[in-house]
Amino acid sequence: MKKVYLASDHAGYELKSALGAFLGERGYNVEDLGPLSYEPLDDYPDTIGPLARAAADDKTAFGIAIGASGQGEAMVCNRTPGVRAAVYYGGDKEIVKLSREHNNANVLALGARFLTQEEAKDAVLLWLETNFSNEERHVRRIGKLN
């Protein structure tokens, strides 16, 4: 089953814990990169940076970064070579699907303050179950990112 790295800041801690259990129950190989306890004064780069490096190093794995909006988490991830992070904080889940089909996103950044747990679970499953299209135009475009 697919390997999924999880990390958050304090704002995403509760959702990260719920998603870890949810994905584990579905057979995903989940590795929680922290924080392992609620830390109200933590700094998201401290936990999201290791997640980004893990997702970049393990080409078959995925990362889910969770914060208040997901924006800062995506910024940390997208500064890491080999990571293509997409942000989702609610609304039409088609954007989640397209991030995999067209951009081969390997990290999904979630905005915990804008999603219910059920919305996040639905989006994460859709994202993990969507494959990259491998269409030449998408491969070419991703190649230009490097």
Give bridge partners of residue 88 from the DSSP assignment.
110
Query: How buried is residue 109: exposed, middle or buried, by Cβ count under 10 Å (0-12/13-18/19+)?
Result: buried
pLDDT in tens, 51-60: 999 999 999 9
Model pLDDT, residue 1:
81
pLDDT in tens, 5-50: 999 999 999 999 999 999 999 999 999 999 999 999 999 999 999 9
Instruction: Examine the pLDDT at 131 and tell me if it is beyond 80.
Output: yes
In this prediction, residue 146 has a pLDDT band, given cuts at 50, 70 and 90, of confident
In this prediction, residue 136 has a pLDDT band, given cuts at 50, 70 and 90, of very high
Model pLDDT, residue 35:
96
Q: Are 34 and 92 in contact (CB under 8 A)?
A: no
Distance CA(82)–CA(53), nearest Å, equals 9
By annotation, the residues acting in catalysis are 73, 102
Token pair of 41 as six digits: 């004064």
State the sign of the Cα–Cα–Cα–Cα dihedral 9, 116, 1, 101.
negative
SS3 content of the chain, % helix, strand, coil (to 5): 50, 15, 35
> The domain 3-145 is classified under which CATH number: 3.40.30.10, 3.40.50.1100, 3.40.1400.10, 3.30.465.10?
3.40.1400.10
Instruction: Examine the pLDDT at 134 and tell me if it is beyond 80.
Output: yes
pLDDT in tens, 63-111: 999 999 999 999 999 999 999 999 999 999 999 999 999 999 999 999 9
Domain ranges of the chain: 3-145
Token pair of 122 as six digits: 């639905």
Span 117-125, average pLDDT: 98
